[in-house]
Amino acid sequence: MVREAGLIRRGVLWLLLLGPLFFLSYGLSNSYTASRDDVGSLVFAWERQMPLWPWTIIPYWSIDLLYGLSFLLPLTHREMDRHALALLSAQVISVSCFVLWPLRFTFERPELTGLFGWLFDVLMGFDKPFNQAPSLHIALLVIIWTMFARHTRQPVLRWLVHGWMGLIGVSVLTTWQHHFIDVPTGALAGLACVWLWPHEGPLPWQQARLAHDPKRWRLAACYTLGALLLALLGLAFGHAALWLLWPALSLLLVALNYALLGAGGFQKGADGRLSVAALGLLGPYLLGAWINSRLWTWRRPQPDEVCDGVFLGRIPGRAEASAFAGMVDMNAELPAPPLTHYLCLPSLDLIAPDQPTLQQAAEAIEHLRQHGTVLVCCALGYSRSACAVAAWLLVSGRCADAIAAQTLIRKARPGIVLHPAHRQALQRLERRP
């Protein structure tokens, strides 16, 4: 891809805005929190064993250089602006938490000498032990890391980038700058910013529409209730139970997708992969969804041929996918293995695809058949994908009506589940001009 003109100047302008804003907001929140008498701390007992490695002040400081260099990497004005806005968002989120939920770092660092001691002295000149969770250092690292990883293609350089970025992440603990709770909360804050400002495609709120389907609202309510329950358990029991806040956030985002954002909130790309941010934020839900797909299909893991080389099944593994020339993927929540002839039409689980999506799926199935056998899949291979195959049977003229299409599919795969909403969508397709 050719780099757009004027990006260096645009990057410099962003740095001139973000740099002073960073030091001003960070310094003011430090000073304000230092004047309060209600600042607590959250420390796990095992953290007392955390070593102090003075040399890790070098990778810790290096994020400042990488922050600036990251503005040299974008190839488009949109990518540049969204990167800058993600960094700005991380700053707003972290500084707001520093003010609303102040925490203090509790370890006393011994006096250090030499180069490392001097670097610590410079750091302490403007940094105080009050800006803790979520770690702004980690949040910025996540955003910068994704930028460098996206633009580093050479394998050796990629490993160097990942290694150094990982070392920066570790350094917030080994320099005794942060307690552990600051790290995962900072990572989630950074991932949220990358999710809010994806480097390509529509922004999440640009595709936001209040759901009209009552079933979407019922599912959103169920996921919200699950998120609330996990959050309350995590806060009530504390300590290791605080990890429950991650799946709680995951379920809350799924609820938001059902109520407002739709399938696009999962950020599944045309290549079948979910964005790094979606994988991180939705990790617990995605793991549960994958396990669920395997449990429900363990008696019938293989896809079933409906007719003319079109198969119906669950989302495949890499080895399973290699048996097919093409794939039409109807699921929004699980990544798909790479395939040359692949089309993703993401639809929400338990929700019937709309008529335009079914029309597109039918045309794609017929087109991909030119390359050989085609797998039409969703998480289980029983509902969304079955509806898509039924649409193909109707549009291609292989079946005269929706009832005949369902009968043919059920003969090949008896467990399919088409609810009234699926049947209504197929009937509308059947009555098309």
Residues marked active site are found at 378
Measure the CA–CA gap between 65 and 57, rounded to whole angstroms: 13
Kindly report each contact of residues 368-373 with a partner whose C-beta sits within 8 Å and lies 24 or more positions away, as own/partner.
368/325, 368/326, 368/327, 368/328, 368/341, 368/343, 369/308, 369/309, 369/310, 369/326, 371/325, 371/326, 371/341, 372/309, 372/324, 372/325, 372/326, 373/309, 373/310, 373/311, 373/323, 373/324, 373/325, 373/326
In the numeric block, the tokens 């400081």 are attached to: 61
Is the Cβ–Cβ distance between 425 and 386 less than 8 Å? no
State yes or no: cis peptide before 134, omega within 30 of 0: yes
Range 103-119 burial, b when 16+ CB lie within 10 A, else e: bbbeeeeeeeeeebeeb
User: Which residues lie below 8 Å from residue 350, measured CB to CB, with a gap of 6+?
Assistant: 215, 219, 383
Measure the CA–CA gap between 162 and 345, rounded to whole angstroms: 32
Is the Cβ–Cβ distance between 370 and 326 less than 8 Å? no
Is the Cβ–Cβ distance between 411 and 426 less than 8 Å? no
Return the sign of the alpha-carbon dihedral for residues 100, 235, 283, 330: negative
In the numeric block, the tokens 């609810």 are attached to: 419
Tokens describing residue 144: 């910068």
- Give the count of alpha carbons within 13 A of 271, CB side only: 4
Return the sign of the alpha-carbon dihedral for residues 236, 242, 247, 249: positive
Q: Which amino acid is at 347?
A: S
Distance, CA of 204 to chain centre: 12
Tokens describing residue 62: 């290096």
Residue 202: which of 128, 249, 142, 269 has the closest Cα? 269
Is the Cβ–Cβ distance between 180 and 170 less than 8 Å? no
C-alpha dihedral (155, 159, 160, 163), degrees to nearest 10 = 170
